[in-house]
Amino acid sequence: MKFMKMEKCFTKIDLETLKSIEKLVKMGVRNDSEEKRMLNFSKMDRVKKGWTTNNALFKTEGGNYNIEQVNIELGKGKALETFNENIINFEIIK
């Protein structure tokens, strides 16, 4: 399973990152966390079995530590392909 941490995206956000997230939002579903923690993603459909093929899962984490963040799980299908197609540059860190 592939994950994309929202916190990383928004520390240094740029237009291309925003466009990529918008594409994932269009195919997004959310976990069953409290709607208030999901912020702008609370209107998404709730996740159902088989989501990994066609959806990105917007998932809240960190509630136990008073840290709230939303991760995007990319699954194995359409969302992962969309993410990979939108990579502009990368750096290998050893």
Span 39-62, average pLDDT: 87
The answer, yes or no, to whether residue 38 has pLDDT greater than 70, is no
Q: Taking the CA atoms of 86, 51, 40 and 70 in sequence, report the sign of the dihedral they define.
A: negative
The pLDDT score that the predictor gives to residue 7 is 53
Span 74-92, average pLDDT: 90
Long-range pairs for 83-90 at CB < 8 Å and ≥24 separation? 83/2, 83/4, 83/20, 83/24, 86/16, 86/19, 86/20, 86/23, 88/16
Question: Is this prediction's pTM over 0.75?
Answer: no
